[in-house]
Chains A and B, each alone.
Chain A
Amino acid sequence: MPYDVSIERLQLFSLFDLKGPRQGLTDWAGDVLNHLPKAPNQLSREDGVELCHTGANRWLLRAEIGMETDLEAKLRLETAPPEISIVKISDTMTFFRVTGEDAIQVMSIGCPLDLHADAFAAQAVSFTEFFNCRALVLRCRGGFDVAVEQSFADMIADYLDRATI
């Protein structure tokens, strides 16, 4: 029986890889990064900017692509002090949106995380694996966003097609 799910390959997001101590990052670009989440594998959203705490001293910023120029100006990548690192990685990851009644069933085919709401709540985000690729997983309305390194995107699209026949 086919899964009740819809899968959409999303347009590019504006993505920035942020490394360094949180104080150093907020001191440098406080008006964008003032809501850096403290808890591991949590995200916070403010003014269209999502900040995901994906590792020790490491965050990922995600926003709509239309915000990129403004974000670049505010983050001042080129002149950032040496104790922090801000790198634009917008074209390195491809996002898929998996939504619908059976979204969690389809996700569980490729991902070992427990994605039930009590284990993976609304603000949860994590790098994990998806069909053997390193992948970022977070919730969206009605399902999950999952991102893989862009060169694997066609392969993952194919896996998702086959998994949901």
Chain B
Amino acid sequence: MLNIPCPFCGQRNESEFAYGGPVKPDRPQPDKVSNDQWVDYLTQVPNPLGPVEERWWHVKGCGTWLTIWRDTRTHDIVEEPGDAG
């Protein structure tokens, strides 16, 4: 079980959160990139062996969306979110 740092609430149990998936690269203009690059953008989900940038929603808590960097090898949260908006 992860403890996830919420910028409003502090450290909270993972079960209070909903996983929002990895942060994807910025959406390219479809007419400015090749077909392969466009298909890659649509179909490839970041899944590195190491730190991955992820979105989480404190859905059962304060309702904040936050972004963390989690190391997929250790589950350590290697970078915490900034202040709540």
Q: Which residues of A are at the interface with B, using a C-beta cutoff of 8 A?
A: 40-41, 54-56, 58, 112-113, 126-129, 132, 134-135
Contacts and interface: CB of A to CB of B under 8 A. Distances in A.
Interface residues of B, number: 15
A127 B60 contact: yes
Residue of A113, A126, A132, A134 ringed by the most chain B CB atoms within 10 A = A126
A132 B18 CA distance: 12
Contacts of B39: none
Contacts of A129: 13, 15-16, 60
B16 A112 contact: yes
A41 B9 contact: yes
Interface of B: 8-10, 12-13, 15-16, 59-64, 84-85
Contacts of B84: 40, 56
B85 A126 contact: no
A110 to B, nearest CB: 11
Given A56-B8, A56-B85, A126 B13 contact: no
A109 B85 CA distance: 32
Contacts of B16: 112, 128-129
Contact of A55 (B8, B10, B13): B8
B12 to A, nearest CB: 8
A135 B85 CA distance: 22
A53 to B, nearest CB: 9
A8 B30 CA distance: 59
